[in-house]
Structure 1
């Protein structure tokens, strides 16, 4: 097995196409064709983690946070980022990061938090826009079924709980090939009329290359007429944050104690309690102040996140409880999620959970 094989498995869980634009995800260090001896999974790639990879004979580190976030102009070892990259290269260790791709995955970071808190009826808090593409193409009528089948097989035409979805209109197409053409139907230099089916089909943007490959491989025309547009519909299965419910209402103080226990934290910064029962809980691992209004709009009683600033707490405005459990604490179980996932997918070598605590924040 090579590095790319592991990447392929990880992209099934969280396609990198859905990472935020500001992020730096993917293979950050190493060769995608390198044979793997072992995989070490961590939240952050620090020097101690690279040392751990060396000790455990793992030459691929799968990290949630990217060690290279901003551009590197020099590699002199003057800071921890440069030292990590230099040590990884020296020991032929590859580093792959998922970060916001996993944040936006349906079964990613925020789903893990919901599971820890024992929430049900989970759904995405802020569905991502511009993730759905629409393909329109024109094919000879007698070839329409074969093309639809090929596009479905490539993953197109799936909408929520439905598959093999398409819209079809029959009509007549015309064309005239020039002297350099080689038409599969009709004669060059003559206007040809063909009974055609117009096929319209949607697909998730991360599979565009395989959808187009199926189109060109199956379509018989020398020049395939097609259009691709990005549609406004939001994908309810891709996006940041999540909201869920408790099976039974919970007292506010009991909820905060439940939160401390389940998220393994000794400190919670929170806004004023509202003397009401807690049923709906919104969560967003990492820095989540931007989602406060979305949590309110979705009727959450509590919003669990991290990195809230002083003035963020004022925005609760007696309508929601804001609970800051710490950045590391909100994402700490992400590496367990990845280990469990990769262990099911890969059975011929070790998937190791890093023992290094990478939390830079200490509490007295």
Structure 2
């Protein structure tokens, strides 16, 4: 197995196309053509983590947070970021960051947060826009089934809990090939009319190249006519944050006690208590002040996140309980999620190529301590 094979698997888990524009995800350091030894999974890539990778014979570090966030103008070893990059390059270790691609995933960071807190009936808090595309193509009637099936196999036509979704219209197409053409139907230099079916089918935007490859391979025409448009529909399974519910409402004190225990945090900072029950809860791992209004609009009784500033707590406005459990604490279980998913994914790879192990980093990268 090559490192690039693992990158394809990581893309399948959390497509980088859904990472936020400000982020820096993907392969940050290393050569993807190298043979893969083992994979070390961490929340942050520090010098100690690179040393752990060396000790455990891992030449790929899968990190939640990117070690290189903004551009590096120098690599002299003066900062911890520069030293990490130097050490990784010197020891031929690749570093891959998944960050907001996993934040926006249906089974990513926030799904794990819901699970640990005990929330059911989860929904995406802020569904991502412009992630759904539509393909229109025109196929001779006798070839429509073959083309349609090829598109389905490539991942098109999946909507929520449904698959193999398409819309088909029968019509009559015309074309006239020039002297350099090699028409499958009709004759060169003559206008030909053909009974065709217009196939309309939606697909997730990260699958576009795969969908087009399937179309071109299965379509009988020399020149394939098609249109691709980006839909305004929001994607209910991709986006920031989640909202869910407890089976039974909790008092605020019980909720805060449960939250502190479940998330293993030394402190829960919160806005003033409202003397009301907590049943519906919004969550967002990491810095989440920007979705306070969305949590309120969703009717959440409480919002669990991190990195709230002094003035952010005023935004509760006596309508929601805002809680800050700490950045590391809100994302701490991401490592376990990635190890579990990656282990299952590579076990499905070609048996002869599954010697690589997925290793959970034992290095504590939390930069904050509680006194």
Length-normalised TM-score, structure 2 = 0.96
- Within 2, Cα distance between the matches of 1:111 and 1:267? 22
Greater displacement, 12-21 / 209-218:
12-21
Match of 1:188 in 2: 188
Match of 1:363 in 2: 370
- Within 2, Cα distance between the matches of 1:92 and 1:11? 22
1:62, distance to aligned residue in structure 2 (A): 0.5
What is the DSSP-based 3-state SS (H/G/I as helix, E as strand, rest coil) of the residue aligned with 2:197?
Answer: strand
Match of 1:79 in 2: 79
Match of 1:125 in 2: 125
What is the DSSP-based 3-state SS (H/G/I as helix, E as strand, rest coil) of the residue aligned with 1:161?
Answer: coil
1:7, distance to aligned residue in structure 2 (A): 1.8
Match of 1:265 in 2: 265
Match of 2:90 in 1: 90
State which of 345, 352, 358 in structure 1 corresponds to 2:359.
352
Match of 1:2 in 2: 2
What is the DSSP-based 3-state SS (H/G/I as helix, E as strand, rest coil) of the residue aligned with 1:346?
Answer: helix
Counterpart check, 1:32 vs 2:3: no
1:346, distance to aligned residue in structure 2 (A): 2.9
- Within 1, Cα distance between the matches of 2:53 and 2:40? 6
What is the DSSP-based 3-state SS (H/G/I as helix, E as strand, rest coil) of the residue aligned with 1:282?
Answer: strand
- Within 2, Cα distance between the matches of 1:176 and 1:273? 74
Question: What runs of 5+ residues in structure 1 fail to find an aligned partner?
Answer: none
Match of 1:137 in 2: 137
Q: Report the number of matched residues.
A: 364
- Within 2, Cα distance between the matches of 1:257 and 1:105? 28
Counterpart check, 1:103 vs 2:103: yes
- Within 2, Cα distance between the matches of 1:259 and 1:342? 28
- Within 2, Cα distance between the matches of 1:228 and 1:13? 25
- Within 1, Cα distance between the matches of 2:43 and 2:119? 24
- Within 2, Cα distance between the matches of 1:159 and 1:350? 34
1:52, distance to aligned residue in structure 2 (A): 0.7
Q: Provide Cα deviations, 1:81-119, integer angstroms capped at 9, x if missing partner.
A: 111111101001010110000000011000111111011
Greater displacement, 161-170 / 182-191:
182-191
Question: What runs of 5+ residues in structure 2 fail to find an aligned partner?
Answer: 348-354
- Within 2, Cα distance between the matches of 1:176 and 1:12? 42
What is the DSSP-based 3-state SS (H/G/I as helix, E as strand, rest coil) of the residue aligned with 1:328?
Answer: helix
1:5, distance to aligned residue in structure 2 (A): 2.0
Match of 1:22 in 2: 22
Q: Provide Cα deviations, 1:123-175, integer angstroms capped at 9, x if missing partner.
A: 11111100000000111111111110110011100111111110011111111
1:184, distance to aligned residue in structure 2 (A): 1.4
- Within 2, Cα distance between the matches of 1:340 and 1:69? 26
Match of 1:341 in 2: 341
Moved over 4 A (4+): none
1:245, distance to aligned residue in structure 2 (A): 0.6
- Within 2, Cα distance between the matches of 1:13 and 1:125? 20
- Within 2, Cα distance between the matches of 1:172 and 1:36? 53
RMSD value, Cα: 1.0
- Within 2, Cα distance between the matches of 1:246 and 1:10? 32
1:345, distance to aligned residue in structure 2 (A): 2.3
What is the DSSP-based 3-state SS (H/G/I as helix, E as strand, rest coil) of the residue aligned with 2:294?
Answer: helix
Match of 1:301 in 2: 301
Length-normalised TM-score, structure 1 = 0.98
Matches within 5 A, 1:311-350: 311-347=311-347, 348-350=355-357
Greater displacement, 78-87 / 345-354:
345-354
What is the DSSP-based 3-state SS (H/G/I as helix, E as strand, rest coil) of the residue aligned with 1:86?
Answer: helix
What is the DSSP-based 3-state SS (H/G/I as helix, E as strand, rest coil) of the residue aligned with 2:143?
Answer: helix
1:186, distance to aligned residue in structure 2 (A): 1.2
What is the DSSP-based 3-state SS (H/G/I as helix, E as strand, rest coil) of the residue aligned with 2:359?
Answer: strand
Match of 2:148 in 1: 148
Match of 1:178 in 2: 178
